């Protein structure tokens, strides 16, 4: 049993001689313990609720029965998520992740939509007790953002978030249109894992152009007066990363290199996926025909994932971070190659 093996290693006198390796093994150990504990808890709670249903029926207590049935539905949803979580077996699925949001064509409309998506992912991360750090944010001219990068830290952050890569379409009555006309806006999301010492990515320095820039947006007088922001361009692939979250140029440079290695690793993962499963490339034009999800706020309320068919009319909940049903369905589709029937997840 893997957990017993890890426990034995952790008790060894030389276990902490290699701190990074030890920390990684302890994370794996804690994850396995959490899974086993959760399974035991689900089984106990299910038994308790079934007993309550029996008691409620024998005493004609409809309220008790209804509450127990609701609790069982919640347990089923949690068990389903745990089952899907077991599919996160990729070599980087357990890692932290970078998540980028880019506004599409459309000026203020798309830039405002990009900021709404950024908030949505920040809320999702908070709901799952993930830590978030803003690596870069380029504001729009009038409202919203042109682009932004989050680092989301926590177990399986990349495994879950990778399902969100693609183009997201919004249909709504524009708050920026004095004639209250309906507008369609696009924004793209890119997701790539934070890589650790288990994953080697070799980059030739001669293949990278390094630019130092003044940080954009809010950041205090020091940030605005010094060229602390770093932009790296990988010439062979034209991959560009940008970091401005620290006042120290040295720390921004180190973080930008980490982001570049992560982007190149994610690119290699995509190539492998496409060869194995004939998947579509995640990087597509930000416009019609390439979206993975549609968010309609007018003339009706509906969020629909165009890959799996999962939908909901609870648009407010989704925009406040309730993304698990979409992520779970997308992971199951990746694993089993099946498309879910259209389902309202209210």
- 219-259 per-position pLDDT tens digit: 443 344 567 888 899 999 999 998 887 778 888 888 888 88
Structure confidence at residue 338 (pLDDT): 53
Q: Which letter, b or e, does each residue of 9-19 get, where b requires 16 or more Cβ atoms within 10 Å of its Cβ?
A: eeeeeeeeeee
Most confident among 21-30, 34-43, 209-218, 269-278 (mean pLDDT): 34-43
Res 212: pLDDT:
86
pLDDT bin (cut points 50, 70, 90) of residue 339 is very low
Q: What is the average per-residue pLDDT within 289-314?
A: 92
> Which carries the bigger pLDDT value, residue 26 or residue 101?
101
- Predicted confidence at residue 279, as pLDDT, reads 44
**Domain 92-346 in this protein, CATH class:** alpha beta
Domain boundaries defined on the chain: 2-85, 92-346
C-alpha span between 120 and 97 (Å, rounded):
16
The 3-class secondary structure across 42-63, one letter per residue, is: HHHHHHHHHHHHHHHHHCCCHH
CA proximity to 165, closest of 268, 270, 69, 264: 270
Taking CA atoms, 218 is separated from 23, 127, 225, in Å, by 35, 26, 12
The pLDDT of residue 276: 54
Q: Is the pLDDT of residue 290 over 60?
A: yes
CA-wise closest residue to 135 among 74, 212, 217 = 217
Query: What pLDDT is attached to residue 267?
Result: 84
* CA 33 – CA 156 distance, rounded (Å): 15
How much of the chain is helix, strand and coil, in % rounded to 5?
45, 20, 30
Give me the pLDDT at residue 340, please. Answer: 42
Q: For all residues of the chain together, what is the average pLDDT? A: 83
Residue 286: predicted pLDDT: 65
How far is 113 from 32, CA to CA, in rounded Å? 38
Residue 10, pLDDT > 50, answer yes
According to the model, what pLDDT value does residue 257 have?
87
Check residue 226 and give its pLDDT: 61
Q: What is the mean pLDDT of residues 268-274?
A: 74
pLDDT grade for 112, boundaries at 50, 70 and 90: very high
pLDDT at 217: 55
Residue that wins the pLDDT comparison between 176 and 346: 176
pLDDT at residue 285 tops 60? no
Alpha-carbon gap, residue 138 to 100, rounded angstroms: 11
Q: In the prediction, which pLDDT does 84 show?
A: 75
Alpha helices in the chain (DSSP H): 2-10, 19-58, 62-85, 108-127, 157-161, 220-225, 249-277, 315-319, 324-336
**Cβ count near 305 (within 10 Å):** 26
pLDDT for the residue 93: 87
42-98 tens-digit pLDDT? 889 889 999 999 999 988 888 999 999 999 988 887 787 777 777 776 778 888 999
Q: Does domain 2-85 have CATH number 2.30.31.10?
A: no
């Amino acid at each position: 049993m893997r957990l017993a093996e890890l426990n034995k290693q952790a008790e060894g006198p030389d276990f902490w001689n290699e701190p990074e390796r030890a920390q990684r093994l302890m994370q794996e150990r804690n994850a396995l313990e959490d899974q086993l504990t959760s399974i035991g808890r689900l089984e106990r709670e299910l038994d308790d609720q079934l007993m309550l249903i029996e008691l409620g029926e024998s005493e004609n207590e409809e309220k008790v029965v209804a509450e127990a049935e609701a609790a069982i539905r919640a347990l089923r949803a949690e068990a389903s998520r745990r089952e899907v979580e077991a599919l996160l077996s990729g070599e980087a699925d357990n890692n932290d992740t970078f998540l980028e949001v880019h506004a599409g064509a459309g000026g203020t409309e798309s830039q405002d939509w990009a900021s709404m998506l950024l908030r949505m992912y920040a809320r999702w991360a908070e709901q799952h007790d993930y830590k978030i750090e803003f690596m870069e944010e380029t504001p729009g001219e009038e409202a919203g953002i042109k682009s932004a990068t989050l680092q989301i830290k926590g177990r399986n952050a990349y495994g879950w978030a990778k399902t969100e890569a693609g183009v997201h379409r919004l249909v709504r009555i524009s708050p920026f249109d004095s004639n209250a006309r309906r507008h369609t806006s696009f924004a793209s999301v890119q997701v790539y894992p934070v890589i650790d010492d288990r994953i080697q990515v070799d980059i030739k320095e001669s293949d990278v152009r390094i630019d130092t820039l003044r940080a954009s947006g809010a950041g205090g007088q020091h940030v605005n007066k010094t060229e602390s922001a770093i932009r790296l361009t990988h010439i062979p692939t034209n991959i560009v990363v940008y970091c401005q979250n620290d006042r120290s140029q040295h720390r921004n440079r180190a973080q930008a290199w980490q982001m570049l290695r992560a982007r190149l690793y994610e690119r290699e993962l995509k190539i492998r996926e496409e060869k194995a499963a004939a998947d579509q490339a995640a990087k597509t034009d930000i416009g019609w025909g390439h979206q993975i999800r549609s968010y309609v706020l007018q003339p009706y309320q509906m969020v629909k994932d165009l890959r799996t068919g999962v939908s909901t009319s609870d648009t407010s909940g989704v925009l406040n971070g309730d993304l698990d049903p979409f992520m779970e369905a997308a992971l199951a589709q990746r694993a089993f190659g099946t498309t879910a029937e259209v389902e309202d997840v209210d």
